[in-house]
Amino acid sequence: MPGTGRAGPVPGQPAQSVAAGDTSPDHRRFGSRLHSAFSRSASPAGRGGPRRRPWVGLLFVAPMLLLFLVFRFLPVVGAFLLSLTDYRLSGKWDFIALDNYTRLLSDSVFHQALLVTVTYTVIFVPLTVLLSLGTAVLLHQVVWKRGFFRGVFFLPYVTSIVLAAVIWKWIYDAQDGLLNAVLGLVDIGPIDFLTQSGTVLPSIAVTSAWKGFGYSMLILLAGLQAVPKSYLEAAMIDGAGTWQRFRYVTLPQLRPVLFFVLVIETIGAFQVFDAMYVMTGGGPVRSSYSLVYFLYDSGFKYFDFGYASAIGLVLFLIVLIVSLVQRRLVGRDD
Amino acid sequence: MVNMLERPPVRAVRETKAVGRRTAARLTLPTLLTLTAIVTIVPFAAMVMVAFAPPSGRTFPDALNPANFTLDNFSRVLSSSDIPRWTVNSLLYSLVSVVCVLLFASMAGYAFAKKKFPGREIMFWAFLATLMVPFQATLIPSYILVSRFDWVDSYWGLIVPTLANSQAVFLMRQFIMQLPDELFEAAEIDGASEWRIFTTIVVPLIRPVLATLGIFVFLWHWNDFLWPLVIGQSGKMQTLTVGLATLQTQAVPINQVMAGATITVVPSLLVFGLLQRYLTDSIAMSGLKA
């Protein structure tokens, strides 16, 4: 299901932790209550305000609420319950308590998938954050054709990760690939990037970073543009050089935005699947076999639905912890 | 510490240095920017070139020679695979979802923003809470549910579960909350029905956010992979992304795969070309993630 929960954290989060606007619900509720109290006394009592017809609001919510209850809420509860059963394709199941989880703990494939996912995340997150920060700083510094360049960097983002994977799989190809053709010009290679356990994860990480860095770049660019000019001018008058201004003025100002980007990218990295499915099929010998790949195989190759749900809950826990840690870190700062 | 007497020359030197550095920077940064942009664009350019390159022989250097450009790969991949059918599936999946999500999310957003009804707060926070759960974590129960409805391998199964989009509801609510209450109250006093208020007052006012959200919902669905992969089990029900992925696992020549890839990217590029500014501005403002 696209969009729904793929990004993990609440989309309002940038509004809260980044823009820190007036999104505090208490403030809003207070404001609107004050407002409606005022207008209610001014409007004729006979027609009846929105307060007196609660079914109107319910009717407007109803279609989405129904969809939401059946296709979001039920599956969330279902995932938890399923993970406590040995639900199979036939629909037969027994309650097995935490057996799926103890099985996970001793399953070497799970260990491998977890290791692959963490390794991938450790490679991908710094790569993509540096890439998006670098391009954002460049765009911020250079006024020349800014809209054009911004568009170019954002272009891969509107395409699918499957498309990126298909293109890059060919780029990495040992016989015909673009990269090896270029490396061949300086007498390197050919290197079979996707069939060696040492290069496969970095290669996939580069593909995903290329596909997605435009998003974080835009967020960071907005953050850079929000740094008050007067701070930078004051630092300049005090004799701070370009690097010092960036290090001691811009970066601290950018911290909340950077944190947001870090978390978004980390959560995304833990959910990696599409690129691996298309580029390597998890190989060679499971060196690019991620958690979601393991979940997919458990569910749709071995039809071990209970076990697959348990993997899903582990994924959820990881995502939750990442978001909570971020909230802690940002909260402590402000 | 610098001696008082030495100070003026030092400052002068520093200034000329700074000017020099500034000119250097004036050239370095745009160069760096251009190089990065070229590297970003190369994979697309290569894709298109290989798609138009002659099907026989090595991709390089043949792909670089415009004299050899041919449409063979396109006609072959179109006739040998189900690309037209996949395109219809992708369009249905994306467009039906856009219409439904925009309608249902704006209705719900309006109610959450401007109506009072029992359970409103709890419902809203429940909507938000599920955003924390990654979709993959609920993939299995969602699939079981769809199979219980007998919706596997059907448009119903493909589309309906993806309409429950809390992110869209949240965005709509945030936007509609900013509209002044007087607008609705005035219409109510004039005796307009609730539905009429919604269609003639709310919808025109939220047109910009509808456009933005529409673009995002389109891209989410057009580029989606895991759900169509799981639900569209027969070849007939595959979307373009899934079809593209299966194309390249079969023994289809790379030129034809790239021709197929070029076809799948056209709608995204159209959306991008027409609405780039919309898209980039809204990300900067709302953090909406496709």
Q: pLDDT tens-digit profile of A153-204?
A: 999 998 999 999 999 999 998 887 889 888 888 888 788 899 998 999 999 9
Does the beta-carbon distance from B117 to A312 stay under 8 Å? no
Does the beta-carbon distance from A32 to B138 stay under 8 Å? no
**Least trusted range by pLDDT, from A51-65, B104-118, B160-174:** A51-65
Give residue-wise pLDDT tens across range B36-48: 999 999 999 989 9
Nearest chain A residue (CA) to B169: A64
Respond yes or no on whether the N-terminal peptide bond of residue B141 is cis (omega within 30° of 0).
Answer: no
Nearest chain A residue (CA) to B107: A60
pLDDT (0 to 100) of residue B106? 95
Q: What is the mean pLDDT of residues B227-246?
A: 90
Q: What is the mean pLDDT of residues B224-237?
A: 89
Of A19, A71, A273, the CB nearest to B164: A71
pLDDT (0 to 100) of residue B2? 42
Residue with more model confidence, A39 or B169? B169
Q: Give me the torsion for CA of A265, A271, A276, A278, rounded to 10°.
A: -100
Answer whether B279 touches A (CB < 8 Å).
yes
- Number of Cα atoms under 13 Å in the Cβ half of residue B77: 30
Answer whether A101 touches B (CB < 8 Å).
no
**Least trusted range by pLDDT, from A42-46, A163-167, A224-228:** A42-46
**Least trusted range by pLDDT, from A301-305, B53-57, B83-87, B268-272:** B53-57
Does the beta-carbon distance from A158 to B221 stay under 8 Å? no
Confidence label for B18 from pLDDT (cuts 50, 70 and 90): low
Helix B254-286 vs helix A197-225: crossing angle, to nearest 10: 30
For residue B265, the one-letter residue type is V
CA distances from B71 to B56, B76, B78, B263 (A): 13, 9, 11, 12
pLDDT (0 to 100) of residue B17? 61
pLDDT exceeds 60 at position B71: yes
Residue with more model confidence, A328 or B99? B99
Confidence label for A325 from pLDDT (cuts 50, 70 and 90): confident
Of B58, B132, B161, the CB nearest to A320: B132
pLDDT exceeds 60 at position B242: yes
Does the beta-carbon distance from B139 to A5 stay under 8 Å? no
The reported pTM is 0.84
Q: What is the mean pLDDT of residues A202-223?
A: 94
Nearest chain B residue (CA) to A147: B277
Does the beta-carbon distance from B135 to A1 stay under 8 Å? yes
**Least trusted range by pLDDT, from B143-157, B234-248, B268-282:** B268-282
Q: What is the mean pLDDT of residues B65-90?
A: 86
Which of the residues A40, A160, A290 would you substitute to probe the B interface, choosing the one with the greatest number of B C-beta atoms within 10 Å? A160
pLDDT exceeds 50 at position A273: yes
Answer whether B173 touches A (CB < 8 Å).
no
Does the beta-carbon distance from A169 to B248 stay under 8 Å? yes
pLDDT (0 to 100) of residue B22? 65
- How many other CB atoms are found less than 10 A from the CB of residue A117? 24
pLDDT exceeds 80 at position B10: no
Answer whether B261 touches A (CB < 8 Å).
yes
For residue A273, the one-letter residue type is F
Does the beta-carbon distance from B138 to A75 stay under 8 Å? yes
Output DSSP code: residue B57.
S
Give residue-wise pLDDT tens across range A300-311: 999 999 999 999
Residue with more model confidence, A325 or B278? A325
Q: How many residues does chain B have?
A: 290
Answer whether A12 touches B (CB < 8 Å).
yes
Does the beta-carbon distance from B257 to A153 stay under 8 Å? no
DSSP B173-240: HHHHHTS-HHHHHHHHHTT--HHHHIIIIIHHHTHHHHHHHHHHHHHHHHH--HHHHHH--SGGG--H
Q: What is the mean pLDDT of residues A22-47?
A: 38
pLDDT (0 to 100) of residue B54? 82
Q: What is the mean pLDDT of residues B200-205?
A: 90
Answer whether B93 touches A (CB < 8 Å).
no
Nearest Cα of chain A lies from the Cα of B70 at a distance, in angstroms, of 19
What CATH code would you report for B75-286? Answer: 1.10.3720.10
For residue A242, the one-letter residue type is T
**All structural domains of chain B with their residue ranges:** 7-70, 75-286
Q: What is the mean pLDDT of residues B72-101?
A: 91
Residue with more model confidence, B153 or B6? B153
Chain A, window 272-301: residues with a beta carbon less than 8 angstroms from a chain B beta carbon: 273-274, 277-278, 281, 292, 295-296, 299-300
Answer whether B218 touches A (CB < 8 Å).
no
Residue ranges in chain A assigned as alpha helix (H): 13, 25-42, 54-68, 74-82, 99-106, 108-141, 146-154, 161-171, 178-185, 197-225, 229-237, 242-245, 251-270, 274-279, 291-300, 305-333
Contact (Cβ atoms closer than 8 angstroms) between residue A190 and residue A246: no
Q: What is the mean pLDDT of residues A47-56?
A: 61
A107-333 has which fold? MetI-like fold (1.10.3720)
Region of residue A87 (left: phi > 0; alpha: psi -120 to 50; beta: else): beta
pLDDT (0 to 100) of residue B69? 80
pLDDT exceeds 90 at position B96: yes
Radius of gyration of chain A (CA): 25
Chain A, window 174-193: residues with a beta carbon less than 8 angstroms from a chain B beta carbon: 176, 178, 181
pLDDT exceeds 70 at position B60: no
CA distances from A174 to A90, A150, A169, A270, B216 (A): 44, 32, 10, 28, 36
pLDDT (0 to 100) of residue A269? 95
Residue with more model confidence, A117 or B20? A117
A254-271 as b/e, with b when 16 or more CB fall inside 10 Å? bebbbbbbbbbbbbbbbb
3-state secondary structure of A85: strand
The rounded percent of chain A whose pLDDT value lies above 70 is: 83
Confidence label for B229 from pLDDT (cuts 50, 70 and 90): very high
pLDDT (0 to 100) of residue B81? 85
Answer whether B276 touches A (CB < 8 Å).
yes
CA nearest neighbour of A307 among A115, A111, A117, A110: A110
pLDDT exceeds 50 at position A3: no
pLDDT (0 to 100) of residue A307? 94
Does the beta-carbon distance from A264 to B289 stay under 8 Å? yes
pLDDT (0 to 100) of residue B288? 65
Nearest Cα of chain B lies from the Cα of A198 at a distance, in angstroms, of 23
Residue with more model confidence, B78 or A43? B78
Q: What is the mean pLDDT of residues A75-85?
A: 93
Query: To the nearest whole number, what is the mean pLDDT of chain A?
Result: 82
pLDDT (0 to 100) of residue B12? 52
Q: What is the mean pLDDT of residues A101-122?
A: 95
